[in-house]
Amino acid sequence: MKTINLSSHQLSVIELLRMARNDALLVKSQDGDTFIISTADEFDSEVELLRQNHSFLAMLDEFKKEENTISFEEVERNLR
């Protein structure tokens, strides 16, 4: 992912979109906000959104800490 700082590079939206065709862009605005511009593939877009979702990532971390787990085999037996 390439980073573009708009305070040092003045680019049009068209130029940013052309650049994003080749590689995702992390664009930093003059006021410090950051944006991601990339081609839209449904799966890739969903992955990118989930990577930015701190609540989702925290939930995954909590799941990893769980000690009382059930094996896949046990789930399969219970479903029969």
What is the C-alpha to C-alpha distance for residues 53 and 1, in angstroms, rounded to an integer?
Answer: 18
Q: Which helix (H) or strand (E) is 25 found in, with range?
A: strand 25-28
Domains of the chain: which residue ranges? Answer: 2-79
Top pLDDT among 69 and 74 is at: 74
pLDDT band at 42 (very low <50, low <70, confident <90, very high): low
Closest to 4 (Cα-Cα) out of 24, 49, 53, 52: 24
pLDDT above 70 for 80: yes
Does residue 72 have a pLDDT over 70?
yes
Q: Is the pLDDT of residue 8 over 70?
A: yes
Only one residue has tokens 């081609």, namely: 39
Q: What is the pLDDT confidence band of residue 49, given thresholds at 50, 70 and 90?
A: confident
Task: 33-39: list long-range contacts, CB under 8 Å, 24+ apart.
Answer: 36/1
